[in-house]
Amino acid sequence: MREVRVRFAPSPTGFLHLGGLRTALYDYLFARHTGGTFILRIEDTDRSRIVPGAIENLIGSLHRLGLDIDEGPLTGGAYGPYVQSERLEIYRCEVRRLLDSGDAYPCFCSPDTLAQMRSEQLSRGEFVKYDRRCLHLSREEVQARLERGEAHVIRLKMPDQRRFRFDDIIRGQVEMNTSQSDDQVLLKSDGFPTYHLAAVVDDHYMKISHVIRGEEWLSSTPKHLWLYECLGWEPPKWVHLPLILNPDRSKLSKRMNDVSVESYLEKGYLKEALLNFVALLGWHGADDREIYSLEELCREFSLERVNKAGAVFDLTKLDWMNGIYLRKLPLDEVIRQALPWFEKGGISLPDPGILRTIVTAARERCTLLPEIAAYSKMFLSPAPLTAEEAEILASPQSQSVLHWYVEHLPREGILEKAELDALVKAGMAELGIKGKDYYTPLRSALLHQPHGPDLPTIFAILGLPRIHELLREALRS
């Protein structure tokens, strides 16, 4: 069996998004599960679409998610360079081989000529593809036009009526006919290769064993297989991942798919939840669990358990999973990741012990990291009382509840939960007040809002001296 070597090969035309992350994650998990190598290769041959900073973002996002690269632009390795624009002579050498063997040919057709050709084919209801008019040029004419420096591309000469059969690890045996294949451009007029040539050449020279990519590349596989055959190389194993779908099973909208991974992290999603969620967009474990650490995914993952049916992207499920991880991760780790949102919200941090108590309570009720900071505000920097809340506190019934607690609460020390429960029952019995008429004045006085956590949580966070101070303020208001 060939050594497992897989590559994630994004184009720097934007930031890492969900579909790209799934491909990278499956590459990474497969490499780690098999003891193989995870390679990052940057496919930057489409110079017109390069986005400044995209390469740095792609590498930074993988690092931030904990997907360590074994070989790549910054990591190095024995099969570099790992940026395609630095490998141009390699591609040109292989194109010369294809030209010499007659498996490729120059094409001098202008964009206007090609547009007219497509228009005429469409009007006749034909499959749109290059009509090979330049294939029939004489050798002398080709040479003369090349010597005049005419702009041209190099096209692959696809075989006529060839039926390609190949095995896909997810889809089984696939059969495709070349009648629907075009004579693909291999080298553009600017001297840069197209994806089809560069990917095949790089996969060969980098000894890639498995090509894991999206379903949209399935139709291009015959071209790639023909290139491997023309160049005398052994093709890799093919793995075409299912589409990612909206909840209504339509293809995932561009708006959703183009949301960068970085933006999910910046919204407060945990990397552990995001990786777990994306892993399940097409793959399932043997026991149909839903919660996996990255280490568990590395142990459990196999390409054979990836479905060929589309995978539904459900944001509600991601939110649910993130809440699970907020409660599952060690408390100190949740606090560490939540701290930036305290700073963004201008919330002063309390004593570490109080902060732990706040986050312990908050993560039981929150879904995202910024919600923990927002939750803390009621304890650390409550909003001013609204007119409605002030009116509630001013009522005789509310005043009696507040007076009772000022008189009966200890001034300092720690009130155990059992003691507080007993105090609450005693207050209800003596005042003859129950339910929200009893609790709303207390929460409004202590938190400046009528709803919130239970009294034991409030008392544990605020402490008795601060509670007395707040009760007296409410009585004076």
Strand order in the sheet with 163-168: 172-177, 163-168, 237-241, 210-214
Distance between CA atoms of residues 468 and 427, nearest Å: 16
Q: In terms of Cα–Cα distance, which of 477, 456, 452, 464 is closest to 379?
A: 452
Q: Helices (H) and strands (E) in the chain — how many of each?
A: 21, 11
Distance between CA atoms of residues 297 and 293, nearest Å: 6
Distance between CA atoms of residues 23 and 43, nearest Å: 15
Tokens (6 digits) for 201:
């050449």
Residue 258: what pLDDT?
Answer: 57
Fold for domain 382-476?
Answer: Arc Repressor Mutant, subunit A (1.10.10)
**153-156 and 185-187 as β-strands: parallel, antiparallel, unpaired?**
antiparallel
Q: In terms of Cα–Cα distance, which of 223, 228, 232 is closest to 156?
A: 223
- Alpha helix (H) residue ranges in 329-435: 331-344, 352-362, 369-380, 387-394, 396-408, 417-431
Residue 288: what pLDDT?
Answer: 81
Distance between CA atoms of residues 328 and 49, nearest Å: 41
Fold for domain 88-241?
Answer: Rossmann fold (3.40.50)
Q: What are residue 336's phi and psi, to 5 degrees?
A: -60, -45
Q: How far is CA 308 from CA 8, 159, 235, 274, 289, in A?
A: 20, 29, 22, 22, 19
- Nearby residues of 319 by Cβ (< 8 Å), 6 or more positions away: 367, 368
- What is the sign, positive or negative, of the torsion defined by CA atoms of 454, 456, 461, 465? positive
Domain ranges of the chain: 88-241, 254-332, 382-476
| Catalytic residue check, 254 | yes
Give the other-Cβ count within 10 Å of 240's Cβ.
21
Among 254, 308, 417, 425, the active-site one is 254
Distance between CA atoms of residues 231 and 366, nearest Å: 57
Distance between CA atoms of residues 222 and 224, nearest Å: 5
Distance between CA atoms of residues 242 and 348, nearest Å: 47
Contact 44, 193 (CB under 8 A): no
Q: In terms of Cα–Cα distance, which of 5, 14, 2, 9 is closest to 214?
A: 9
Distance between CA atoms of residues 314 and 281, nearest Å: 10
Distance between CA atoms of residues 457 and 68, nearest Å: 41
Condensed to tens digits (0 to 9), the pLDDT of residues 105-147 reads 999 999 999 999 999 999 998 888 999 999 999 999 999 999 9
Distance between CA atoms of residues 241 and 212, nearest Å: 7
How much is the pTM? Answer: 0.91
Q: In terms of Cα–Cα distance, which of 288, 260, 289 is closest to 274?
A: 260
Least confident of 45-49, 254-258, 340-344, 463-467: 254-258
Mean pLDDT across 425-453 = 92
Contact 455, 439 (CB under 8 A): yes
Residue 308: what pLDDT?
Answer: 92
What architecture does CATH give domain 254-332?
Orthogonal Bundle (1.10)
Residue 256: what pLDDT?
Answer: 59
Mean pLDDT across 383-390 = 87
Residue 197: what pLDDT?
Answer: 98
Distance between CA atoms of residues 343 and 186, nearest Å: 52
DSSP output for 157-174: -PPTTPEEEEEETTTEEE
Mean pLDDT across 404-427 = 91
Residue 206: what pLDDT?
Answer: 98
- Alpha helix (H) residue ranges in 206-243: 221-231
Give the other-Cβ count within 10 Å of 278's Cβ.
25
- Alpha helix (H) residue ranges in 193-293: 195-205, 221-231, 254-257, 261-266, 271-279
Condensed to tens digits (0 to 9), the pLDDT of residues 320-340 reads 999 999 999 999 999 999 999
Residue 59: what pLDDT?
Answer: 93
Residues paired with residue 17 on neighbouring β-strands, in sequence order: 260
Distance between CA atoms of residues 276 and 294, nearest Å: 7
pLDDT band at 255 (very low <50, low <70, confident <90, very high): low
> Is the pLDDT confidence value at 48 over 90?
no
> Is the pLDDT confidence value at 254 over 60?
no
Share of the chain above pLDDT 90, in %: 81
Contact 235, 272 (CB under 8 A): no
Residue 401: what pLDDT?
Answer: 94
